[in-house]
Amino acid sequence: SGSRSSKTFKPKKNIPEGSHQYELLKHAEATLGSGNLRQAVLLPEGEDLNEWIAVNTVDFFNQINMLYGTITEFCTESSCPVMSAGPRYEYHWADGTNIKKPIKCSAPKYIDYLMTWVQDQLDDETLFPSKIGVPFPKNFMSVAKTILKRLFRVYAHIYHQHFDSVMRLQEEAHLNTSFKHFIFFVQEFNLIDRRELAPLHELIEKLGSKDR
């Protein structure tokens, strides 16, 4: 697995083949291939919104995992002593269970906490049921929103602190496409508060204006 693209930060989360969610993922990949991202994020006709959000959340986790995996060597305790997205935004970690009071920590530590926490949510069958017919819990939407809000912070950190490394690795097209897909998705279903998106506001405007 010497190639860069196969390096992920955390183990990839797989959607079981043959499941309905796998079919949905295939649908998402096919529409993405058409190059129209606004079209690609729309809820497929007759599909369950929760399931569509679940499949895409897993997919974004895997994408961010891979993107961050390419730059982990540049994101260190000394290069990034705080988890920030530019000088005006700093994030402190709390998950509400193990760490109740937000703690200040380095970016690699924060992202490790964050991705481990997301992984735990995705692996929880009561939150993200993978079996057909098992209903999503009532709090599913609020959990999904929290996951996506936190995943956004990893994009924000990469853009603000590591974009030069991304350019050197020639990964910027990959990063931009992934982020644009993510933003169109959260905008379509109103999943992240505008205030939370502020660190990348200009980039989001730019990505959106090209598509109108």
CB 118 within 8 A of CB 153: no
**Could you read off the pLDDT of 168-202 as tens digits, one per residue?**
999 999 999 999 999 999 999 999 999 999 999 99
pLDDT score, position 2? 35
pLDDT of 32 > 90? The answer is no
**Could you read off the pLDDT of 104-116 as tens digits, one per residue?**
999 999 999 999 9
Q: Which residue has the tokens 């982990």?
A: 72
CB 160 within 8 A of CB 86: yes
Band the pLDDT of 70: cuts 50, 70, 90. very high
Nearest to 150, CA basis, from 117, 124, 103: 117
C-alpha distances (whole Å) from 161 to each of 51, 178, 182 are 34, 18, 19
Q: Annotation-wise, does 157 bind a ligand?
A: yes
Q: Annotation-wise, does 174 bind a ligand?
A: no
Q: What kind of fold does domain 20-209 have according to CATH?
A: Butyryl-CoA Dehydrogenase, subunit A; domain 3 (1.20.140)
The Cβ-side half-sphere exposure at 19, using a 13 Å CA radius, reads 15
Reading the block at residue 40, the tokens are 């690609």
Q: Which residue has the tokens 């998705």?
A: 185
Q: Annotation-wise, does 162 bind a ligand?
A: yes
> CA-CA distance, 7 to 21, in Å (whole number)?
25
**Could you read off the pLDDT of 131-155 as tens digits, one per residue?**
878 899 999 999 999 999 999 999 9
> CA-CA distance, 162 to 201, in Å (whole number)?
17
Enter the pTM of the model.
0.90
Q: Annotation-wise, does 92 bind a ligand?
A: no
* CB-based contacts of 108, cutoff 8 Å, min separation 6: 72, 75, 76, 77, 80
Pairing outcome for strands 83-84 and 90-91: antiparallel
